[in-house]
């Protein structure tokens, strides 16, 4: 057999075009002088009523083709944007309009849409629109939302969009009975995905075929397609959505439709021209989504060993001005908070709150980093209270390897029971301790202290539900050239799908890796799909592709068996050639099998003559057998009953400068278990990127809103995304491979893992270095400096 | 359009282009939209991310901070001009393939041009110098780990910019 590619670090096939500058991102589509460009007038106020919009001066600008405000929208376009994921607890869900109607609720909300010859002219025109506002006092921050002295939406009392509770028993009784109790109050601030490519959409209406083509930088092409059709009053079959290369997503591009994803197609259809919108960086800050902001209150009861007897969590989640993505982020926080542990009783209550700020939708980790932070801060507090090693308290609470499948007794984000499928947390702990040098650290700390240097060590553990449903599908087609064309509907933002999926197809079908071409996120090729989020692509599409390749293989074997006059059981497919095992002379290549799979009347080349009616087939039977279809293809879908749970542990050693409070990473270690690895190089790349984003979120990045709701740091000058100088110089990674029993490949998701424990692990290490409690993240040198002053004052 | 247009002659990747452009047209937009060289990407439009970095007379410059008219008389190289005429990748590009130095690929052209200029100036960087060479470019995918490796691998591949075998 050919060497299996599963598990090998195959070089990426997509790199060739990216490295040559031949990628095609949304703004690279339809580069043509005839393409029209858009600019959006966005609210300068966080909260205001719109009294009047005067666009009279706009159409006088040379090169302007059209301007839309809310009053120009009709039919479904004039309705609010969809609430994508309704939930019974979301009693007061609100979404914005494609263009603001009467009121704006965050600085950056779209008010008017201008289409012009180029972006420069469109921006000139936007500057000539006169809007009269009646400015209202805004609600900024969780404290103001809870106080509810002012309301974001008049009809949402207390600014509470949702209140949700889950519990596994009587937590109050369990707390009362516990020998030890602690209370923690924690904060996490906002950050954002910040892909290097912002949002972008291009649309072209083709009157000759009565059809709309949309290219959009999205994480769900089928989602965008469905809503564009509904909003524009088109049949689904009239709309194609093509996901071009996407310059990073990290969650923000799963939300849809963005106003421009509807307005651009509307403009293209109305004007009969190709229309393009490319978001600029400032727009991305003020009109695309943020995440992470939460305030948490934890009460925990435990025994002398640190075993969790009762865990009672209340948190307040800032969801911004609107709730298009429902309650997914706080539900994930509330369920994934438990990590690898099994408290006797758990209760969690959250309120999801409106503020006059940019809306909150999932950012890589999607609520897990906050949950991990709450749980791991609690573990550290228990260890400190009992004077125990932090790893010991964690080990005491681990779900053991023989306890899987383990039911947490909660309902997860997919509406299914929170049931962990597999894992080995004690083994991970041993690996992370070895990797970071946990047991040697006291000696190292003493050695550093002797040099006047202050260091600390921290660790954090997480469990990540990955590969959520409902399904993905795949189509595998062997062409008569022997080339294998594969399509799956979810999209790609840098994960290397074209490579890893080709590995799976080559392995299962037996073709050459080089002959496989994978297309993702193109509704023309696979109209049934969900999207790329929740670390689900490898699990969902990977499994579907594996199954589809198997179908194509079975068909190839059946056809080849007839041609070679052998039993299918005696055949093998290696490097794209079907042969009889043990007699290599008796062989037929997959391309020829593809020819034979499609009975022809008309030959189109030499090879295809072999499939014409006087050449092939049993004249006594139908050319295409009953229950068969022409073509060497396989289509299949994968729909698991529930999510699969990856896990991991991070540890870090930091140094804090005694004078400046600068925080330096000395060593960063990751133990990661995403089940079977398809491509370890790509998995490690995902971890590297996650860790860097985690460092940003823990030490540098925050959205700075002032009291009037102005985002003060809406640029890369002021929002401190890590450069190479801020990330660890080397990340030590070790893998554990606990296969998932839920899918044929035994894989679990890997995309978000790197970022989940960051706030927790840095808080743990900084607390260890400083000997003062860290309860708010991110933490800057200035924050730490002031904490020291406050702590000195308290303890003096 | 009523905007005044200027004659702008741009020399890009060894090819001369005569354009009529408004004075305010950014070099990044002229390259992308007027010349169709979409390999140069725009990530922030204020010179911080480095995705739009091109070489001007061999020096790394940010095309989003420069007007097209200011580029007259300069020999510009974009990412499309880094590989050999026969398509062979440059050493820097080859190193990115080998080290998995890119994920979504959006920031990559800016890194490739920056490192190309950096290695011309310092063909044998130390590890610290390799990190320093890319310290002005943002990447949100890779955590920079494999980009640093790619700088070191490119240096190892040799002072010739074209990969071996070219």
Quote the CA–CA distance of A292 and A758 in Å, as a whole number.
12
Boundary residue ending a domain (A638, A663, A679): A638
Tally of domains within chain B: 2
Residues B76 and B95 in one domain: no
Q: How far is B48 from chain A (nearest CA, A)?
A: 6
Quote the CA–CA distance of A113 and A110 in Å, as a whole number.
8
Which residue from A20, A121, A248 is facing B83, i.e. has the nearest CB? A20
Q: Does B148 touch chain A (CB under 8 A)?
A: yes
Boundary residue ending a domain (B21, B55, B81): B81
Residues A458 and A585 in one domain: no
- Please give the C-alpha separations between residue A195 and each of A281, A426, A627, in angstroms, as whole numbers: 10, 35, 47
Edge to edge, what strands does the sheet with A130-135 contain?
A103-104, A48-54, A130-135
At B160, the pLDDT band (50, 70, 90 cuts) reads: low
A741's torsion region: left (phi>0), alpha (psi -120 to 50) or beta?
Answer: alpha
pLDDT on residue B161 = 56
Interfacial A residues in 193-212 facing B (CB < 8 Å) = 193-197
Residues B115 and B49 in one domain: no
A60 Cβ contact list (under 8 Å, min separation 6): none
The answer to whether residue A278 sits within a structural domain is yes
Residues B59 and B98 in one domain: no
Residues A496 and A632 in one domain: yes
The answer to whether residue B163 sits within a structural domain is no
The answer to whether residue A524 sits within a structural domain is yes
The answer to whether residue B34 sits within a structural domain is yes
Q: Does A326 touch chain B (CB under 8 A)?
A: no
Query: Is the Cα torsion angle A703, A375, A412, A431 positive or negative in sign?
Result: positive
Boundary residue ending a domain (B59, B81, B103): B81
At A2, the pLDDT band (50, 70, 90 cuts) reads: low
Record: contact A494-B108, CB cut-off 8 A: no
Which residue from B78, B100, B112 is facing A12, i.e. has the nearest CB? B100
Edge to edge, what strands does the sheet with A571-574 contain?
A571-574, A577-580, A583-589
pLDDT on residue B166 = 38
Half-sphere exposure of A323 (CA within 13 A, CB side): 29
Residues in A touching B80 (Cβ below 8 Å): 20-22
Task: Pick the residue of B40, B65, B105 with the most A CBs within 10 A to test the interface with A by mutation.
Answer: B105
Residues B77 and B15 in one domain: yes
Strand runs (DSSP E) across A544-631, as ranges?
571-574, 577-580, 583-589
Query: pLDDT tens for residues A195-241?
Result: 999 999 999 999 999 999 999 999 999 999 999 999 999 999 999 99
The answer to whether residue B122 sits within a structural domain is yes
Residues A475 and A624 in one domain: yes
Record: contact B107-A682, CB cut-off 8 A: no
Residues B99 and B65 in one domain: no
In B, minimum Cα distance to A685 occurs at: B142
Residues A488 and A455 in one domain: no
Residues A685 and A779 in one domain: yes
Query: Is the Cα torsion angle A416, A417, A418, A419 positive or negative in sign?
Result: negative
The answer to whether residue A509 sits within a structural domain is yes
Q: Does A680 touch chain B (CB under 8 A)?
A: no
A709 Cβ contact list (under 8 Å, min separation 6): A45, A46, A47, A106, A107, A138, A140, A356, A357
Record: contact B104-A693, CB cut-off 8 A: no
Residues B96 and B36 in one domain: no
Residues B101 and B73 in one domain: no
Of B99, B158, B94, nearest to B124 (Cα)? Answer: B158
Which residue from A280, A724, A730 is facing B135, i.e. has the nearest CB? A724
Task: Please answer whether residues A324 and A253 qualify as being in contact, where contact means their C-beta atoms are separated by less than 8 angstroms.
Answer: no
Percentage of chain A exceeding pLDDT 70: 100
Task: Pick the residue of A11, A723, A733, A755 with the most B CBs within 10 A to test the interface with B by mutation.
Answer: A723
Mean pLDDT of B145-163: 86
The answer to whether residue B164 sits within a structural domain is no
Peptide bond connecting A441 to the previous residue in cis, omega within 30 degrees of 0? no
pLDDT on residue A314 = 98
Quote the CA–CA distance of B38 and A446 in Å, as a whole number.
55
Residues A410 and A458 in one domain: yes
What b/e readout covers A600-634, taking b as 16+ CB neighbours within 10 angstroms?
Answer: beeeeeebbeebeeeebbeeeeebeeeeeeebbbb
A605 Cβ contact list (under 8 Å, min separation 6): none
> The domain spanning residue A222 has which CATH number?
3.90.1170.50
The answer to whether residue B165 sits within a structural domain is no
Boundary residue ending a domain (A231, A264, A287): A287
Residues A632 and A648 in one domain: no
Residues B98 and B76 in one domain: no
Boundary residue ending a domain (B34, B57, B81): B81
Residues in B touching A21 (Cβ below 8 Å): 37-40, 78-80, 82, 109
What b/e readout covers A89-121, taking b as 16+ CB neighbours within 10 angstroms?
Answer: bbebbbbbbbbbbebbbbbbbbbbbbbbbbbbb
Quote the CA–CA distance of B59 and B77 in Å, as a whole number.
9
Which residue from B2, B97, B146 is facing A685, i.e. has the nearest CB? B146
Residue A627 reports pLDDT greater than 90: no
Q: Does B78 touch chain A (CB under 8 A)?
A: yes
Query: pLDDT tens for residues B60-78?
Result: 999 999 999 999 999 999 9
Mean pLDDT of A42-70: 96
Residues A506 and A651 in one domain: no
Report ipTM (2 d.p.): 0.96
Backbone angles phi, psi at B155, to 5 degrees: -65, -40
Quote the CA–CA distance of B78 and B113 in Å, as a whole number.
7
In A, minimum Cα distance to B106 occurs at: A247
Residues B10 and B70 in one domain: yes
Query: pLDDT tens for residues B13-24?
Result: 999 999 999 999
Tally of domains within chain A: 3
The answer to whether residue B132 sits within a structural domain is yes
Please, is B31 exposed, middle or buried when counting C-beta atoms within 10 Å of its C-beta (0-12, 13-18, 19+)? buried
A399's torsion region: left (phi>0), alpha (psi -120 to 50) or beta?
Answer: beta
Backbone angles phi, psi at A534, to 5 degrees: 55, 40
3-state secondary structure A625-644: CCCCCCCEEEEEEECCCCCE
Task: Pick the residue of A14, A219, A247, A733 with the most B CBs within 10 A to test the interface with B by mutation.
Answer: A247
Eight-state DSSP code of residue A360? B
Residues in B touching A731 (Cβ below 8 Å): 143, 145
Task: Pick the residue of A39, A196, A688 with the most B CBs within 10 A to test the interface with B by mutation.
Answer: A196
Interfacial B residues in 12-31 facing A (CB < 8 Å) = 22, 24-25, 29
Residue B164 reports pLDDT greater than 80: no
- Residues A123, A126, A127, A128: what is their CA dihedral angle, to the nearest 10 degrees? 130
- Print the domain residue range for A494: 470-638
Record: contact A21-B36, CB cut-off 8 A: no
Quote the CA–CA distance of A106 and A156 in Å, as a whole number.
16
The answer to whether residue A439 sits within a structural domain is yes
Q: Does B39 touch chain A (CB under 8 A)?
A: yes
Record: contact B138-A31, CB cut-off 8 A: no
Residues in A touching B144 (Cβ below 8 Å): 688, 692, 723-724, 727
> The domain spanning residue B106 has which CATH number?
1.10.150.120
Structure tokens at A458: 């921290």
In B, minimum Cα distance to A730 occurs at: B145
Q: How many CB pairs under 8 A join A and B?
A: 179
The answer to whether residue A96 sits within a structural domain is yes
Mean pLDDT of A376-401: 98
pLDDT on residue A617 = 77
> The domain spanning residue A708 has which CATH number?
3.30.365.10
At A609, the pLDDT band (50, 70, 90 cuts) reads: confident
Residues A430 and A453 in one domain: yes
Residues in A touching B41 (Cβ below 8 Å): 25, 196-197, 247
Query: pLDDT tens for residues B89-126?
Result: 999 999 999 999 999 999 999 999 999 999 999 999 99
Mean pLDDT of A745-749: 94
Q: How far is B60 from chain A (nearest CA, A)?
A: 17
Residue A610 reports pLDDT greater than 70: yes
Residues A520 and A607 in one domain: yes
Q: How far is B133 from chain A (nearest CA, A)?
A: 10
A779 Cβ contact list (under 8 Å, min separation 6): A663, A698, A699, A762, A763, A766, A787
The answer to whether residue B86 sits within a structural domain is no
Enumerate the β-bridge partners of residue A13.
none
- Print the domain residue range for B67: 5-81
At A615, the pLDDT band (50, 70, 90 cuts) reads: confident
In A, minimum Cα distance to B95 occurs at: A19
Structure tokens at A586: 């008796």
Which residue from B105, B136, B138 is facing A18, i.e. has the nearest CB? B105
| Rg, chain A, Cα only | 28
Q: How far is A564 from chain B (nearest CA, A)?
A: 41
In A, minimum Cα distance to B44 occurs at: A281
Query: pLDDT tens for residues A441-474?
Result: 999 999 999 999 999 999 999 999 999 989 999 9
Q: Give ∠ CA A598-A601-A604 in degrees, rounded to 5.
A: 80
Interfacial A residues in 37-66 facing B (CB < 8 Å) = 62-63
Give the three-state DSSP class for A611: helix
Which residue from B32, B135, B142 is facing A689, i.e. has the nearest CB? B142
Mean pLDDT of B136-164: 88
Q: What is the largest CA-CA distance in chain A?
A: 100
A390 Cβ contact list (under 8 Å, min separation 6): A379, A380, A383, A458, A459, A764
Residues B63 and B123 in one domain: no
Boundary residue ending a domain (A236, A269, A287): A287
Residues A104 and A205 in one domain: yes
pLDDT on residue A795 = 84
Interfacial A residues in 726-755 facing B (CB < 8 Å) = 727, 729-731, 754
Quote the CA–CA distance of A387 and A380 in Å, as a whole number.
10
| Count of residues in chain B | 166
Half-sphere exposure of A295 (CA within 13 A, CB side): 11
């Amino acid at each position: 057999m050919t060497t299996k590619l599963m598990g090998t670090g195959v070089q990426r096939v997509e790199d060739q075009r990216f490295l040559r500058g031949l990628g095609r991102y949304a703004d690279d589509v339809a580069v043509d002088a005839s393409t029209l460009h858009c600019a959006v007038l966005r609210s300068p106020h966080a909260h205001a009523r719109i009294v009047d919009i005067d666009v009279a001066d706009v159409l006088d600008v040379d090169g302007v083709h059209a301007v839309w405000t809310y009053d120009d929208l009709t039919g479904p376009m004039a309705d609010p944007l969809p609430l994508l994921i309704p939930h019974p607890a979301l009693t007061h869900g609100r979404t914005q309009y494609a263009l603001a109607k009467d009121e704006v609720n965050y600085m950056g909300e779209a008010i008017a849409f201008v289409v012009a010859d180029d972006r420069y002219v469109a921006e000139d025109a936007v500057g000539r629109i006169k809007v009269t506002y009646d400015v209202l006092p805004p609600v900024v921050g969780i404290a103001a939302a809870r106080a509810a002295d002012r309301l974001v939406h008049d009809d949402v009392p207390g600014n509470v969009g949702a209140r949700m509770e889950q519990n596994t028993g009587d937590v109050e009784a369990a707390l009362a009975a516990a020998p030890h109790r602690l209370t923690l109050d924690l904060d996490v601030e906002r950050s954002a995905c910040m892909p290097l490519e912002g949002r972008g959409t291009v649309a072209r209406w083709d009157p000759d075929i009565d059809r709309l083509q949309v290219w959009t930088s999205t994480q769900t092409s089928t989602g965008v397609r469905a809503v564009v059709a509904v909003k524009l009053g088109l049949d689904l079959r009239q709309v194609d959505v093509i996901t071009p290369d996407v310059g990073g997503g990290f969650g923000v591009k799963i939300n849809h439709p963005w106003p421009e994803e509807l307005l651009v197609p509307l403009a293209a259809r109305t004007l009969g021209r190709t229309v393009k919108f490319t978001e600029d960086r400032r727009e991305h800050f003020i009109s695309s989504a943020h995440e992470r902001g939460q305030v948490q209150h934890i009460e925990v009861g435990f025994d002398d060993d640190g075993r969790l007897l009762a865990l009672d969590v209340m948190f307040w989640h800032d969801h911004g001005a609107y709730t298009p993505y429902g309650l997914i982020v706080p539900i994930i926080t509330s369920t994934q908070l438990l990590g690898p542990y099994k408290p006797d009783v758990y209760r969690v209550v959250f309120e999801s709150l409106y503020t006059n700020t940019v809306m909150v939708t999932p950012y890589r980790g999607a609520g897990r980093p906050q949950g991990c932070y709450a749980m791991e801060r609690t573990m550290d507090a228990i260890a400190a209270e009992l004077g125990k090693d932090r790893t010991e308290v964690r080990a005491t609470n681990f779900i053991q390897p023989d306890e899987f499948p383990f039911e947490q007794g909660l309902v997860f984000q997919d509406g299914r029971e929170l049931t962990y499928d597999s894992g080995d947390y004690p083994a991970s702990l041993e690996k992370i301790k070895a990797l970071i040098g946990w047991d040697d650290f006291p000696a190292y700390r003493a050695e550093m202290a002797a040099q006047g240097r202050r260091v600390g060590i921290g660790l954090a553990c997480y469990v990540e539900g990955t590969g959520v449903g409902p399904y993905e599908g795949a189509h595998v087609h062997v062409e008569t050239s022997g080339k294998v064309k594969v399509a799956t509907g979810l999209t790609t933002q840098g994960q290397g799908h074209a490579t890893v999926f080709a590995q799976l197809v080559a392995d299962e079908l037996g073709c050459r890796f080089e002959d496989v071409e994978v297309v993702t996120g193109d509704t023309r090729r696979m109209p049934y799909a969900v999207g790329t989020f929740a670390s689900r692509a490898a699990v969902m599409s990977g499994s579907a592709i594996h199954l589809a390749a198997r179908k194509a293989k079975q068909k190839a074997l059946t056809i080849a068996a007839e041609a070679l006059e052998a039993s299918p059981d005696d055949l093998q497919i290696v490097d794209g050639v079907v042969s009889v095992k043990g007699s290599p002379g008796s062989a037929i290549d997959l391309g020829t099998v593809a020819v034979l799979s499609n009975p022809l009347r008309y030959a189109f080349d030499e090879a295809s003559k072999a499939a014409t009616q006087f050449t092939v087939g049993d004249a006594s039977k139908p050319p295409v057998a009953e229950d068969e279809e022409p073509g060497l293809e396989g289509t299949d879908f994968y729909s698991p009953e529930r999510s699969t749970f990856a896990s991991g542990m991070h540890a870090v050693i930091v140094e804090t400068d005694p004078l400046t409070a600068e925080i330096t990473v000395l060593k960063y270690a990751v133990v990661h278990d995403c089940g079977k690895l398809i491509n370890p190089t790509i998995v490690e790349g995902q971890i590297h990127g996650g860790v860097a984003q985690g460092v940003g979120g823990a030490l540098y990045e925050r959205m700075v809103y002032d009291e009037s709701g102005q985002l003060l740091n809406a640029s890369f000058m002021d929002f401190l995304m890590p450069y190479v100088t801020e990330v660890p110089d080397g990340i030590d990674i070790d893998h554990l491979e606990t296969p998932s029993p839920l899918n044929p490949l035994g894989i679990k998701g890997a995309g978000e893992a790197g970022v989940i424990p960051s706030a927790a692990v840095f808080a743990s290490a900084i607390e260890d270095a400083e000997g003062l409690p860290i309860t708010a993240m991110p933490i800057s040198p200035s924050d730490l400096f002031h904490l020291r002053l406050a702590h000195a004052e308290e303890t003096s | 359009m009523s905007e005044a247009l200027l004659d702008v002659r741009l020399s890009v990747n060894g090819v001369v282009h005569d354009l009529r452009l408004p004075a305010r047209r950014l070099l990044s937009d002229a390259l992308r939209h007027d010349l169709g060289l979409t390999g140069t990407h725009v990530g922030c439009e204020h010179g911080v991310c480095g995705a739009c970095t091109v070489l001007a007379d061999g020096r790394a410059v940010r095309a989003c901070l420069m007007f097209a008219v200011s580029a007259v008389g300069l020999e510009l190289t974009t990412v499309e001009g880094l590989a050999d005429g026969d398509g062979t990748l440059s050493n820097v590009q080859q190193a990115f393939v080998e080290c998995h130095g890119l994920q979504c690929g959006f920031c990559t052209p800016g890194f490739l041009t920056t490192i190309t200029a950096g290695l011309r100036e310092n063909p044998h960087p130390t590890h610290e110098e390799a990190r320093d060479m890319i310290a002005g470019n943002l990447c949100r995918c890779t955590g920079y780990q494999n980009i640093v490796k790619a700088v070191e691998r490119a240096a190892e591949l040799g002072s010739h910019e074209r990969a071996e075998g070219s």
